[in-house]
Chains A and B, each alone.
Chain A
Amino acid sequence: EAAVTQSPRNKVAVTGGKVTLSCNQTNNHNNMYWYRQDTGHGLRLIHYSYGAGSTEKGDIPDGYKASRPSQENFSLILELATPSQTSVYFCASGEGRASQNTLYFGAGTRLSVL
Chain B
Amino acid sequence: GEKVEQHESTLSVREGDSAVINCTYTDTASSYFPWYKQEAGKSLHFVIDIRSNVDRKQSQRLTVLLDKKAKRFSLHITATQPEDSAIYFCAASMSNYNVLYFGSGTKLTVEP
Contact = CB atoms under 8 A, between A and B. Distances in A.
Given A105-B43, A105-B44, A59 B102 contact: no
A95 B98 contact: yes
A48 B44 contact: no
A59 B92 CA distance: 14
Main secondary structure of the interface of B (DSSP, over half): strand
Contacts, number: 64
Size band of the interface chain B makes with A: 20 to 34
Interface of B: 1, 6, 9, 32, 34, 36, 42-46, 49, 89, 93, 96-105
Interface residues of A, number: 27
Contacts of B96: 96-98
Contacts of A74: none
B32 A90 contact: no
